[in-house]
Amino acid sequence: MQKFILMLALVLLLGCIGIPGVKKLSGGEATEWQRISDPVAEEMLQSLDSGDYGAYAGGFMEIAVPAKDKFDALRLETGKKLGKYKSKKFVAAYENSGEYEGMEIDAIAVQYDAEFEKGTKMVSLTFDKNDSSHKVGELYIDLQE
Given this model, what pLDDT does residue 17 score? Answer: 46
Given this model, what pLDDT does residue 108 score? Answer: 96
Judged by DSSP in three states, 101 sits in coil
Given this model, what pLDDT does residue 25 score? Answer: 96
Q: Which residues of 2-135 form beta strands (DSSP E)?
A: 22-24, 85-100, 103-116, 119-128
**End-to-end Cα distance, the chain:** 31
**Per-position pLDDT tens, the chain of length 145:** 444 444 455 544 544 444 556 899 999 999 999 999 999 999 999 999 999 999 999 999 999 999 999 999 999 999 999 999 999 999 999 998 877 677 777 899 999 999 999 999 999 999 999 999 999 999 999 999 7
Given this model, what pLDDT does residue 74 score? Answer: 97
Asked whether 83 and 118 are in contact (CB, 8 A), the reply is: yes
Distance CA 82, CA 27 (A): 32
- For each of the domains in the chain, give its residue range(s) and CATH number, in order of start: 2-141 (3.10.450.590)
Model pTM?
A: 0.83
For β-strands 85-100 and 136-141, DSSP reports them as unpaired
